[in-house]
Structure 1
Amino acid sequence: MKKRIFGLVAIFLFGSMVVSAKNKTEKFQVKGKCGMCEKRIENAATSVEGVETAKWDEESQNLEVSFNAKKTSSKKIQTSVAMAGHDTELFSASDKKYSDLPGCCQYQRDENKTQMNHGDSSECSHEKTTECSDDKSATSNSCCGGK
């Protein structure tokens, strides 16, 4: 009986380690101002397949996400948040998405910061962030300035 219980406990612990090995938690900056922003940011993050939880803190401007690293990445999550109108560490929302935000949600943008701009595209076709331009114009529909 003791061997059986020990065996079940060992299987449970091993299974837990395998499951947690692919789960990842990360924090990154996301610009916003209010409770409406919080809901929009968290919804954009959790809409990405593989994201388990997302919590944005208005004071620190940080989004903490827990996700399955085999299904998604921080880059994909930040792309989704930028597509919702909020600048992240890696991506700037398009000018159109930003201007479509309610007035109370329009945060101060840092126009001098070089960031990737995904405009209305869903993902870059390349991997290196240094290949992207910092074009933030409303006419740019890709992170590469219309490449």
Structure 2
Amino acid sequence: MKKVMLSIAVVAMIGMTSCKNQTEEKQENTEVTEELKEIAMAETTFGVRGNCGMCKKTIEKAAANVDGVIKADWSIDLKKINVAYDDSKTDEMTIHKAIAASGYDTDQVAGSKEAYKELPNCCQYDHEMEMSLTEPIEGQGSNHHEVE
């Protein structure tokens, strides 16, 4: 009986911690939104070649590592990235170059050949593939490797 009561107490504490974490996350998101309003914001969208969820992770990380980038979201299906950044700290070309340095072609800068060779096989994209699509290419979409 003591073990049952102890188990119930542990589960209850975990549930309360989970709710507390959700509340803290909501508060942090609100604070980030408020900070974004105060920053000299610019947004851009441009093409980036890639194939899968692993590409998405690498492309977004390369962009996010540029000082001043606030948000980066690459669409696997549309082959384009949306970036929000502080234009007092960086510019669009710096973001293009950072992504290219990770091995991925953008619509303005060719990807590093050395970095491309180091990409996993599933990430070695066709250098002629179209970018900045308005609709996904037929036959693509659900067959991508998703990485979280």
TM-score grouping bracket, smaller chain normalisation: 0.5 to 0.7
**Does residue 65 of the first structure (1) align with residue 83 of the second (2)?**
yes
User: How big is the alpha-carbon RMSD for the aligned residues of Structure 1 and Structure 2?
Assistant: 2.2
Aligned counterpart, 2:38 = 19
Cα distance in 2, alignment partners of residues 47 and 95 from structure 1:
20
2:98 is paired with a residue of what secondary structure? helix
**1:104 and 2:122 equivalent?**
yes
Q: Is the 8 A contact 2:116 2:124 kept in 1?
A: yes
Q: Post-superposition shift, 1:97?
A: 1.3
**Per-residue deviation at 1:94?**
2.1
Alpha-carbon distance in structure 2 between the residues aligned to 1:67 and 1:26: 8
Q: Which runs of 5+ in 1 are unaligned?
A: 1-15, 112-147
- Secondary structure (helix, strand or coil) at the match of 1:39 reads helix
Q: TM-score, normalized by length of structure 1?
A: 0.61
In the TM superposition, 1:81-100 aligns within 5 A as 81-100=99-118
**In structure 2, distance between residues paired with 1:72 and 1:35:** 26
In structure 2, distance between residues paired with 1:42 and 1:104: 17
Give the Cα separation in 1 of the matches to 2:75 and 2:128. 19
Q: How many residues align?
A: 96
1:122-141 to 2 correspondences below 5 Å: none
Query: TM-score normalised to the size of structure 2?
Result: 0.60
CA–CA distance in 2 between the matches of 1:54 and 1:95? 23
AA matched with 1:89: D
What secondary structure, in the 3-state scheme, does the structure 1 residue paired with 2:125 have?
A: coil
Letter in 2 for 1:108: D
Q: Which runs of 5+ in 2 are unaligned?
A: 1-34, 130-148
Higher relative contact order (CA 8 A, sep 6+): 2
Q: Percent identity?
A: 35
Relative to its length, the structure with more helix (as a share) is 2
Q: 2:94 aligns with which of 60, 71, 76?
A: 76
Q: Is the 8 A contact 2:102 2:112 kept in 1?
A: no
Higher Rg: 2
